[in-house]
Amino acid sequence: MHRKARTEDFSDKDLEVSRPAKFAVGIEAPEKSLVAALGNIGVERTTEVSLTINHKRGFDCPSCAWANPDHSKALEFCENGIKNIVWDATPVVIQDSFWAEHSLTSMLDKSEYWLGQQGRLTTPVYKAAGSDHYAPISWDDALDTLADALRGLDSPDEAVFYTSGRIMNEPAYLLQLFARAFGTNNLPDCSNLCHEATGAGMVPAIGVGKSSVHYDDFGMCDLVIVMGQNPGTNHPRMLNALEDAKHGGAQMVAVNALPEASLLRYKNPQQISGLLGEGTTLADQFVQIRSGGDQFLIRAVAKAVLQAEAAAPGTVLDHDFIDRYCSGFEAYRDAILAIDDREILQATGLHQSQIDELAQRYIDSNATIITWALGITQQKQGAATIADIMNLLLLKGNIGKPGAGASPVRGHSNVQGDRTMGVWDKLPAAFAAALNKEFGFTPPTQNGLDSVAAMNAIDAGKVKVFVSFAGNLVAAMSDSARAEDGIRQADLTVQVATKLNRSHVVTGKASLLLPVLVRAERDVQADGPQIVTAEDTVCRINMSHGELRPISDDLRSDVWVLCELGKRVLGSSRPRIDWQSFQDNYDTIRDAISRTIPGFEDFNERLRKQKSFILPHPPRDSRTFPTKSGKAQFTVQTTEAIDVPHGRLLLQTMRAHDQHNTTIYSLNDRYRGIKDGRFVVFVHPDDLAERGLTEGQTVDVFSEWPGEPDRVLRGYRAVSYPTVPGHAAMYFPEANVLVPRAAVDPACNTPTSKQVIIRIEAGTDPVPGGRPVAH
């Protein structure tokens, strides 16, 4: 049964602000999400999706990349997982009449919330150049239009193929195959905006850019340090692993710019004690750090470790590990011992006693896990910080031993898998050779464009065709207002998607919008029902298989779309790529993967037998380090303190509790005390007072970049919040207007979304229409 969408957009007029919460989850969370689920999709569909999510016979949860326990417990309840699935499985659909009723111009002032609320996309639609409306188009005509545009390009590099980590391994593999067989490495992905620094920091150190822990290591560690991450909102099931660590006797330290509730205390909804009792105290030490201070903190801890070793030689470092497996120790030690302590205190904003306390915990621990997410990666020194995290772990041999390791916690449910499948603007030589052997063509060797470079090339008019499999790049990109101006210059933009978003209404001259199945829906092709796979953050490949009846007969799968495109564009020029077999039976895609990507040998067989398996990880499995030197490598990093000019604040852009990236489920951010609003800027009370501003006052927020006019968001509400003094926080994606395009980590070109210099001034009150404006 299809339902009609609500038509009203939201404003912040009903905004309510209360004090931040002191714990996460508990009984409130299951109630909240189940009530929401039932309201939206009905009892039957809710039961069906809740029972099949992340189960051995079910589908992979699309919300985040957090892992399932190695030894499966009962269904792990996850509030935000359920919200994501309910959002996908909604019976609200966009009817064909919608497109005649809504011009693109009329949708420009709609919020992401409104766009998503219109329901599932059900038919392919096309907007011709010069038209202000999409209109239904047949799949054949849509694909012919795209194929003609690609064939008409002067160079394959005039096309860009973006993907978000929503798509699964099989379509990701075909996407990169298509792009390379077509002749370009222009394969930007959301990882460029997210965890790119993780690979850039980890690979030189240990040769692998992925987590070196198994799920069960959390139950075996002595110490876990959670850095720059808000697990209660973004990886709620990780709280179970942290609880396992605590129950196993481990200490936990949280390092964050904000006192996030979920780092402090957790009430596990799976357990009676969690539902009714006090729950588990998580952080034994909470370190509220200045933004960008983490590299200094890690180096300070390393210095304390090295000094303790000097005072009692042979008692602190893991000499056996360093001697046998590592290279570069002496140079690193000398550099760290020479650090200036004053610089550390200034950059971190911490007291020496806080640093000493953390250092002592690290010294006392025989098995330490360090986890991190965007508070670490979206910084100018992101890759360097991660390299220094690796240095610290190496000092005590915390790689490749039980209960220890580096655990970057990735975001999108299959962002790690997409990269494993080869979605990357760079093409490693070994993979190029494997593609050549399997498919008989020579892939391009030149690096392609990453996300920032692609948007810059679009601005410069160098990209004619922009194709996006999932995602919402104009909203997710830094300098989003400029991204919108840029994309309008493309001849054709093509979005393969499930629900309406900003990138569908801010388009190239012509635009195609192609609707696909969601993960919870059955995918039936010529050879019968198909399965797909995803890789979680600890390198486990999980099988996924939807059970729900598709909401429309006109939906196709991501794989189907790619195969149809492959046949049309490359059918004759690349005869050894058998798109038809790939389309009919996804086992044949996995067979090709098993022959071209190490670790996937006997892919289909293992999947059918075991349902999931863990990819090899040489440092984790055998302390083998596929680095240039063949050893784990200590590196000497440089530091750079952030210079915040007088009167300015350091802004981070982050997620509210009820959103998934650019998808907004509701206007609440429960743990931070925000109800019915998103246009808020969190500021320390002293900073408000210093500017003569009061809580709740309307403010304008300006961001500054040398040589460029100020960027501004007007009509935000000031919220007094226990940030570090001098800091501020706002919600992504709206605040992307303020992130300068040039503000990136030079090591990996990731926007510094957690590090934007702003000033706030009293604004116009009341805001016309209750919604702020960017100009």
Ligand X SMILES: Nc1nc2c(c(=O)[nH]1)N[C@H]1C(S)=C(S)[C@@H](COP(=O)(O)OP(=O)(O)OC[C@H]3O[C@@H](n4cnc5c(=O)[nH]c(N)nc54)[C@H](O)[C@@H]3O)O[C@H]1N2
Residues in the site for Mo ion, rule: CB under 5 A? Answer: 194, 411
**659 binds ligand X, rule: CB under 6 A:** yes
As measured in angstroms, the least distance from the Cβ of 655 to ligand X is 3
**234 binds ligand X, rule: CB under 6 A:** yes
As measured in angstroms, the least distance from the Cβ of 373 to ligand X is 3
**655 binds ligand X, rule: CB under 6 A:** yes
d(Cα 41, Cα 58) in Å, to the nearest integer? 18
**754 binds ligand X, rule: CB under 6 A:** yes
Instruction: Say if CB 744 and CB 379 are below 8 A apart.
Output: no
Tokens of 196: 């790119």
Torsions phi, psi for 45 (to 5 deg): -65, -35
d(Cα 474, Cα 175) in Å, to the nearest integer? 20
**455 binds ligand X, rule: CB under 6 A:** no
Place of tokens 């910084």: 379
**557 binds ligand X, rule: CB under 6 A:** no
Q: Which stretch binds ligand X (CB under 6 A): 34-42, 146-154, 245-253, 647-655?
A: 647-655
3-state secondary structure of 700: strand
d(Cα 194, Cα 745) in Å, to the nearest integer? 11
Whichever of 633 and 750 has its CB closer to ligand X, that residue is 750
**Residue 3 per-residue DSSP state:** B
* Contact track, ligand X, 382-421, x by CB under 6 A: -----------------------------xx---------
As measured in angstroms, the least distance from the Cβ of 463 to Mo ion is 23
Whichever of 194 and 453 has its CB closer to ligand X, that residue is 194
Tokens of 640: 């750079």
**Residue 183 per-residue DSSP state:** T
**720 binds ligand X, rule: CB under 6 A:** no
Instruction: Say if CB 685 and CB 706 are below 8 A apart.
Output: no
**516 binds ligand X, rule: CB under 6 A:** yes
Q: Report the 10 Å Cβ neighbour count for 11.
A: 17
d(Cα 588, Cα 566) in Å, to the nearest integer? 15
Strand partners, 669: 674
Contacting residue, 137, 202, 373, 483, with ligand X by CB under 6 A? 373
- Angle CA(24)–CA(28)–CA(34) in degrees, nearest 5? 120
As measured in angstroms, the least distance from the Cβ of 445 to ligand X is 27
3-state secondary structure of 426: coil
Whichever of 348 and 698 has its CB closer to ligand X, that residue is 348
* Contact track, ligand X, 262-291, x by CB under 6 A: ---------------------------x-x
As measured in angstroms, the least distance from the Cβ of 440 to ligand X is 29
Alpha helices for 349-491 (secondary structure H): 352-364, 374-377, 382-395, 415-420, 429-439, 451-459, 473-476, 480-487
How many residues touch ligand X under the rule CB under 6 A: the total is 61
Whichever of 122 and 192 has its CB closer to Mo ion, that residue is 192
**36 binds ligand X, rule: CB under 6 A:** no
Q: Which stretch binds ligand X (CB under 6 A): 126-134, 186-194, 676-684, 764-772?
A: 186-194
Comparing every residue's Cβ against ligand X, the nearest one is: 411
**Element housing 591 (H / E):** helix 587-596
As measured in angstroms, the least distance from the Cβ of 70 to ligand X is 21
Buried b (16+ CB within 10 A) or exposed e, 97-120: ebbeebebeebeebbbbbbbbbbb
Tokens of 174: 């075909």
Whichever of 498 and 612 has its CB closer to ligand X, that residue is 498
What is the binding site for ligand X (CB under 6 A)? 63-64, 80, 164, 166-167, 190, 193-194, 227-230, 233-235, 255-258, 260, 289, 291-292, 294, 373-375, 378, 411-412, 469-473, 476, 496-499, 501, 516, 518-519, 558, 652-655, 659-663, 732, 735-736, 739, 753-754
